Amino acid sequence: MLWAKLMNIFSTQNPLIRVLIGTAIWCALERIWSAGPLWWSSLSYTQSPYNFVILHLGQISGPTAVTAAIVAVNGLLAEALIRAFFTPMKSQFDLTLFPSPYQGEECPQGQGEVLHSSQPLVIIATILFICCHLIGYSLYSRPLIQPSSTALKVGIVQGNIPNRIKFKTEGKQRIRTNYTQGYLNLVSQGVEAVLTPEGALPFFENEIIQSPLIAAVREKGVLAWVGGYKRQGQGRYTNSLFTFTGEGEVFSHYDKEKLVPLGEYIPFENILGGIINRLSPVTARQIPGKSNQVVKTPFGNAVVGICYGSAFAEQFRNQTQKGGEFILTASNNDPYSAAMQFQHHAQDIMRAIENDRWAVRATNTGYSAFVNPHGKTLWISGHDTYETHAETIYRRQTQTLYVRWGDWLCWILGVLGIGLWGWEKVRS
């Protein structure tokens, strides 16, 4: 609705300027939307996980580059269709950009003028479509340089502990067994680190340290990233991913930045908090982690996202810019269908491509996966299954144009769109 209203405000008779303005407005609204708590993903998401070529435009300016290509190509085709089928015989559009030998006169067979003016738009749309894919292919076809010195063998434990039993005796027993045995199984395969899902051990830090899993870490001396909770003062806690060294000590932690409204926090808590407290038996409140966190590990800095955070491209870009060498994402996803879980996997594919990083994804019930910097899924788990898997990833220090400059394309489109619109108004 906002896009349509703004398109009406910034109206122009020039179809190319209109498409440019429409693209700029769409991208700007996505940026604003992504700054709020109800974001899921941009229009670029429609290309994941299969169109690797066009997704590589994300290395240029993040999701905005892919979104802009989609909006611009379809906008040009829409303008062409409007001219071909919905414009009166004597066109109401300004055709000076595409002059017609029949302009201002009746056309032979009634539609010559309209058809003549629509053809250049189709040609431009086709050229833009081809160029975008050629640029994406040039990035996609770059070989991955993988020195053995940067190799890191990582294991994943997909615990498959349904939320409904997590805090019951049965659930607690399965947590102890599944994650401890999964860790030991992976260590026997020679892994250097093990990743567990979001909230794998649904306890606070002190309880996690006393768990059988951390006892196994001390015994085997292999690092583990463990999902749990960290107290943040009276009645407050964060959803965190802890880095436990081989000595069983916390080396670092990452606190979930993006919380799900109502599911994990109360919007306008000062106003609604009293009402929600009366309706809910839960007294503690989850709070978001600080922005721009840096997660250090013995293997170098990691780029970390927890569940909902996978939808926020800027969160990953900030960590990569600060030296993140590989991506770790931990999710629960138990309440959701297999389709939604695969959508979540598609998000992590986009983040791996944009940041040019290997990604390791651990979930509770699916889909856990390993993804390379070109977006290719090397392995993916089943749905509602208990699984462990080990794969070798590679630490990288490259920086894409997007990582270095951020979403610069959104600003360029906005300046060009407003500038040309103003020039058009002054000229007329």
The residue among 314, 316, 374 whose CA lies nearest residue 64 is: 314
CA distances, 189 to each of 106, 183, 186 (Å): 79, 10, 5
Does residue 425 carry a catalytic annotation? no
Cα end-to-end distance, the chain, whole Å: 28
Q: Which residue is catalytic, options 113, 166, 230, 256?
A: 256
Catalytic one among 27, 107, 132, 307? 307
Contact 243, 252 (CB under 8 A): yes
Residue 211, token pair as written in the block: 């768990």
Q: How far is C-alpha 7 from the chain's CA centre?
A: 27
DSSP 57: T
Catalytic site residue 207?
no
| Backbone dihedral angles phi then psi of residue 297, each to the nearest 5 degrees | -135, 165
76: buried, middle or exposed (CB in 10 Å: 19+, 13-18, 0-12)?
Answer: buried
A 10 A CB-CB count for 309 gives: 24
Count CB neighbours of 226 within 10 A.
Answer: 29
**Bridge-based pairing state of the strands 193-195 and 223-231:** parallel
Coil, strand or helix at 111: coil
Strand pairing report for 223-231 and 387-394? unpaired
Q: Which of 30, 198, 354, 424 is catalytic?
A: 198
Contacts of 17 (CB under 8 A, 6+ apart): 417, 420, 421, 424
Helix (H) or strand (E) holding 369: strand 369-371
Inter-residue contact 307 to 333 (CB < 8 Å)? yes
Give the 3-state secondary structure of residue 89.
Answer: coil
Find out whether 256 and 239 touch, Cβ atoms under 8 Å: yes
Give per-residue burial for 29-54: e unless 16+ CB within 10 Å, then b: ebbeebeeeeeebbbbbebbbeebbb
Active-site residue flag, 256: yes
List, by residue number, the catalytic residues.
198, 256, 307
